[in-house]
Structure 1
């Protein structure tokens, strides 16, 4: 858990009363000479902080959601205190999630303009939101607003939403296809998504190894959706 081990130094570097703004400033300054580590730490903090903001918006944190959070962040015992301190900082910070999400996008754009990593953060948030069996209305509204701030287009958010909310029942939506798509179109889209979600691609955009659980769950949904579509065409 090399990335999570940076949290002790990160929290020690925050002067005075800890806020999300201070956390982001510390990430930028502490890792100014190491872009790869900066992206990975920012990803970790984003998932923790926005999970806390989502819990505050929804008003409820279920045991299932905590379990889902820990599926994504395999937290070693020695880092548990730091992770949940960051969670509490985010939950108690009076600044709205909109400000934090906007700052996170700016941090991403300052690096190389490639913000696909933000989509991975949203994927993790959806995984947590649905852990209790349903994505509640307030959670969905929160996620949609975060997606807009992150710059995800409507089609991209719809595909993400359908994969998590209605995936088993709507395989075409999971792949971003119309229901009248041909077998060839389905296979072409499937291969494109497999290529986009290859572990090497994810690592290149800064997704830490610790969080490849997200990628694994995404590929399971993509493979399952394509298998169902292929069977329909073969029938």
Structure 2
């Protein structure tokens, strides 16, 4: 069954007057978590689109890249996006509901933020309103500041490329701690690990760029340390 068919089933209650945030309450456990992940990224992206004032064709393309949306499923994806844009609930309410839904799964929040950064940068511009939006969402998710800076350094060309931030470590951390952080990130980026924490198979390709960035950062640190 297509994930978009499952999503359509999950939000069918909206026709009865429920809000989109109420859907999150029903999607706490596998396999529904993959549905929840997809709805969460699209819903927050819709709110982010309102932050910078427009939705571009590039952003729509970015959705397709992350979720590999088949032509027959585009209407379902568009429905979620439009419902989120029209919902009176603010993005902070969405973020808190998503935080409660996924609990303390920090890795899952990194996955979600990667999807949002990918879509934010789809048009090649990182708008100040998008930065403020993403910082606030990361704060609600409980994502450490150093991890947010690492995400921004990876996705935003104008950000200072800091390999230590990419690995989430301090420049003065012991070499063995930096190596341990690199190995942990590689392990957490494995497709099986991502699917286990609720990332739908359609979105696992997010990890491809992450693996490249993580290994590049590790190699740069090794060169600096000689």
Q: Into which bin does the TM-score normalised by the smaller protein fall?
A: 0.7 to 0.9
Shift of residue 107 of structure 1? Answer: 1.8
Number of aligned pairs?
Answer: 225
Aligned to 1:94: 88
**What are the superposed Cα offsets for residues 124-170 of structure 1, whole Å, 9 maximum, x if unpaired?**
10111122223211101001111111121222222222222257832
Shift of residue 115 of structure 1? Answer: 4.6
| CA distance in structure 2 between the partners assigned to 1:101 and 1:70 by the alignment | 22
Aligned to 2:148: 157
DSSP-derived class of the 2:110 partner: helix
Aligned to 1:130: 121
DSSP-derived class of the 1:13 partner: helix
Closer, same or farther: CA 216–9 of 1 in aligned 2, 3 Å: same
Alignment of 1:43-192 (within 5 A): 43-109=37-103, 113-165=104-156, 169-179=161-171, 185-192=177-184
1:206 aligns with 2:198: yes
Residue pair 1:49, 1:86 contacting (<8 A) in 2 also: yes
DSSP-derived class of the 1:131 partner: coil
| CA distance in structure 2 between the partners assigned to 1:116 and 1:105 by the alignment | 12
DSSP-derived class of the 1:132 partner: coil
Shift of residue 116 of structure 1? Answer: 2.9
| CA distance in structure 2 between the partners assigned to 1:232 and 1:195 by the alignment | 24
Shift of residue 18 of structure 1? Answer: 6.0
Shift of residue 221 of structure 1? Answer: 1.0
Tell me the C-alpha RMSD between the 2 structures: 2.4
Q: TM-score, normalised by structure 1?
A: 0.84
| CA distance in structure 1 between the partners assigned to 2:87 and 2:170 by the alignment | 42
| CA distance in structure 2 between the partners assigned to 1:105 and 1:178 by the alignment | 26
| CA distance in structure 2 between the partners assigned to 1:203 and 1:179 by the alignment | 31
